[in-house]
């Protein structure tokens, strides 16, 4: 077994490797250039019976793993949403790993519990939420949303669902537009509400929920004997960055006494900048909000902050106090496991503490502002280029483009272009259908990214486009 001095030696080695890895990122292709099975076929089929040397293990790691990874910290990662791991966050994870404490109860890790309460309060102030809200840290927005949907369900059922099950109760209805992330669908399924009872109110041309449509859906459902339980709004939908107008939909929620949850997993981080806060006008009436510092703010996965106006409702829904977890004085402290689905909890607050102190809110704001400004600049290059059209815009660091009608078979070619861009490896983007047609999504949010990296997307896309249309007939009649 490795002793502490061996551990110290290899830990220092890992630290040097980490530095070299980050220094070398710009020279790597962003998306892994491997085929399915390439890695698996090089790993033995059976586990070793005897201990292997650390030199051997690390040699295999270096040979097999880094080249077969897609590099999320790469300066030219423009796909999905970024999942930054800033250096202060990586260091926090080293300390968290070294202590490896389970933070389920106050008593099992007092500093972790108290720091989590403090850090979620710092973060609440950073994103300008009022003191109605208290926070906790979840592993992911998906889990936070599931907790919120379960809470909606139980609140509407006066906690009977937890006690007697759903079979004898009215059919439940949940409302969210089609611009929302699939985690809302997942929550509807897992909470026993059922996909068919996730109702999609119509959206307006800016992709926000139409409050009149929402109102009509709820009225109709009540008239038909359904039980509406809550509304999920989005600030920064995943495909196209859609933002609901919270004042309007939360007014409908309170008219019908429905619980509300706002999914701001990505865009919520931008609320550290006052100039973007118009996007969440009206947020103070929400019941639950989720923001992922593990996307834009450099606090690496996992760190998803959920704010609730009344934590007690969630505790009554997902919390349990079995006898074997009882601790003396438990009514004077917070046992955070009572607010989350898993019992075990990681010490995630340390990452928020290190990152907010090391960057300062001003430092984090600068990063977010730059990403938004650079994406606007890049978008204007595509706007000015007759070979492309901007397929959708968002107020933050996200837009989409496709080939223009200068090309025959625009939609098919756009799909092919996305694949070829990622095979090329210099940049990484994702594609998504927007309004029924393919679009290539570009987002900037990685801390290592520079303005030059963002602007280079236009040139690289032009080069790859040329190789895609090579040999295909360009339709000049449309030019």
Q: Which stretch binds ligand PLP (CB under 6 A): 5-13, 69-77, 112-120, 231-239?
A: 231-239
Cβ neighbors of 184 (< 8 A, separation 6 or more) are: 145, 149, 174, 176, 198, 232, 263
Distance in Å, CB of 432 to ligand PLP, minimum:
12
Question: Which of 70, 94, 107, 140 forms a contact with ligand PLP (CB under 6 A)?
Answer: 140
C-beta of 106 vs 428, nearer to ligand PLP: 428
Distance in Å, CB of 84 to ligand PLP, minimum:
13
C-beta of 71 vs 441, nearer to ligand PLP: 441
Q: Which stretch binds ligand PLP (CB under 6 A): 102-110, 190-198, 262-270, 336-344?
A: 262-270
Question: Applying CB under 6 A, what is the total number of residues that bind ligand PLP?
Answer: 14
Confirm if 347 and 299 have CB atoms less than 8 A apart.
Answer: no
C-beta of 218 vs 289, nearer to ligand PLP: 289
Question: Which of 86, 142, 314, 410 forms a contact with ligand PLP (CB under 6 A)?
Answer: 142
Q: Which stretch binds ligand PLP (CB under 6 A): 52-60, 114-122, 136-144, 332-340?
A: 136-144
- CA 125 to CA 272: how far, in whole Å? 9
Distance in Å, CB of 139 to ligand PLP, minimum:
7
Closest CA to 151 of 254, 258, 282: 258
Two structure tokens written together for 40: 């698996």
Q: Which stretch binds ligand PLP (CB under 6 A): 210-218, 258-266, 359-367, 407-415?
A: 258-266
Residues 82-121 vs ligand PLP: string with x where CB under 6 A? Answer: ----------------------------------------
- CA 255 to CA 60: how far, in whole Å? 61
Cis peptide before 94 (omega within 30 of 0): no
C-beta of 142 vs 197, nearer to ligand PLP: 142
Place of tokens 């829904």: 317
Neighbours of 166 (CB within 10 A): 17
- CA 38 to CA 332: how far, in whole Å? 54
Two structure tokens written together for 28: 């790597």
Q: What is the DSSP letter of 46?
A: S
428 near ligand PLP, rule: CB under 6 A: no
Cα–Cα distances in angstroms (integers) from residue 124 to residues 52, 59, 134, 165, 280, in the given order: 48, 44, 8, 35, 14
Distance in Å, CB of 302 to ligand PLP, minimum:
7
Closest CA to 345 of 179, 166, 143, 188: 143
Please tell me whether residue 22 adopts helix, strand or coil conformation. Answer: helix
Distance in Å, CB of 150 to ligand PLP, minimum:
15
Closest CA to 214 of 226, 224, 200, 194: 200
Confirm if 244 and 90 have CB atoms less than 8 A apart.
Answer: no
C-beta of 267 vs 413, nearer to ligand PLP: 267
User: Per CB under 6 A, which of residues 170..209 are in contact with ligand PLP?
Assistant: 181, 183
C-beta of 140 vs 162, nearer to ligand PLP: 140
Buried b (16+ CB within 10 A) or exposed e, 190-229: ebbbeeebbbebebeeebbbbbebbbebbeebeeeebebb
Contacts 24+ apart (CB under 8 A), 210-214: 211/245, 211/248, 211/249, 211/251, 211/252, 214/175, 214/249, 214/252
Q: Which stretch binds ligand PLP (CB under 6 A): 56-64, 88-96, 263-271, 372-380?
A: 263-271
Distance in Å, CB of 340 to ligand PLP, minimum:
14
Question: Which of 208, 238, 334, 446 forms a contact with ligand PLP (CB under 6 A)?
Answer: 238
236 near ligand PLP, rule: CB under 6 A: yes
Q: Which stretch binds ligand PLP (CB under 6 A): 233-241, 247-255, 386-394, 395-403?
A: 233-241
Distance in Å, CB of 394 to ligand PLP, minimum:
12
265 near ligand PLP, rule: CB under 6 A: yes
Question: Which of 81, 133, 407, 428 forms a contact with ligand PLP (CB under 6 A)?
Answer: 81
Binding site residues, ligand PLP, CB under 6 A: 81, 140-142, 181, 183, 234, 236, 238, 263, 265-266, 292, 304
């Amino acid at each position: 077994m490795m002793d502490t001095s061996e551990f110290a030696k290899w830990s220092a080695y890992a630290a040097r490797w980490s530095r070299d890895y980050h220094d070398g990122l710009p020279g790597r292709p962003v998306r892994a250039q491997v085929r399915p099975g390439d890695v698996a076929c090089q790993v033995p089929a059976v586990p070793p019976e005897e201990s292997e040397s650390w030199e051997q293990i690390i040699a295999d790691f270096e040979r097999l793993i880094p080249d077969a990874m897609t590099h999320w910290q790469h300066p030219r990662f423009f796909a999905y949403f970024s999942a930054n791991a800033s250096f202060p966050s990586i260091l926090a994870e080293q300390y968290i790993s070294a202590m490896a404490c389970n933070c389920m109860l106050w008593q099992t890790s007092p500093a972790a519990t108290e720091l989590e309460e403090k850090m979620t309060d710092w973060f609440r102030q950073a994103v300008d939420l009022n003191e109605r809200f208290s926070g906790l840290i979840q592993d992911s927005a998906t889990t936070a949303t599931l907790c919120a949907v379960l809470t909606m369900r139980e609140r509407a059922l006066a906690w009977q669902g937890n006690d007697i099950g759903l079979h004898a109760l009215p059919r439940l209805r949940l409302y969210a537009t089609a611009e929302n992330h699939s985690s809302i669908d997942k929550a509807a399924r897992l909470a026993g509400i059922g996909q068919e009872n996730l109702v999609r109110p119509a959206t307006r041309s800016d992709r926000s929920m139409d409050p009149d449509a929402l109102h009509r859906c709820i009225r109709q459902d009540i008239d038909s004997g359904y039980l509406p339980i809550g509304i999920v709004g989005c600030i920064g939908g995943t495909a196209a960055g859609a933002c609901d107008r919270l004042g309007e939909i939360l007014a409908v929620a309170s008219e019908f006494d429905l619980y509300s949850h706002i999914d701001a997993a990505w865009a919520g981080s931008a609320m550290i900048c006052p100039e973007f806060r118009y996007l969440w006008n009206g947020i103070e009436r929400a019941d639950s909000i989720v923001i992922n510092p593990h996307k834009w703010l450099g606090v690496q996965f996992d760190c998803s902050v959920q704010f609730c106006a009344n934590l007690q409702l969630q505790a009554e829904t997902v919390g349990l106090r079995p006898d074997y977890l009882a601790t003396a004085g438990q009514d004077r402290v917070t046992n955070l496991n009572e607010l989350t689905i898993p019992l075990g909890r990681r010490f995630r607050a340390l990452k928020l503490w290190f990152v907010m102190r090391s960057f300062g809110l001003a430092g984090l704001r600068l990063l977010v502002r730059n990403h938004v400004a650079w994406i606007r600049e890049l978008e204007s290059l595509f706007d000015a280029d007759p070979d492309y059209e901007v397929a959708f815009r968002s107020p933050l660091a996200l837009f989409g483009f496709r080939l223009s009608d200068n090309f025959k078979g625009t939609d098919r070619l756009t799909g092919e272009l996305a694949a070829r861009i990622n095979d090329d490896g210099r940049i990484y983007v994702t594609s998504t259908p927007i309004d029924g047609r393919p679009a290539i999504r570009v987002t900037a949010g990685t801390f290592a990214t520079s303005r030059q990296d963002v602007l280079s997307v236009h040139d690289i896309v032009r080069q790859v486009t040329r190789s895609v249309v090579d040999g295909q007939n360009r339709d000049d009649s449309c030019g």
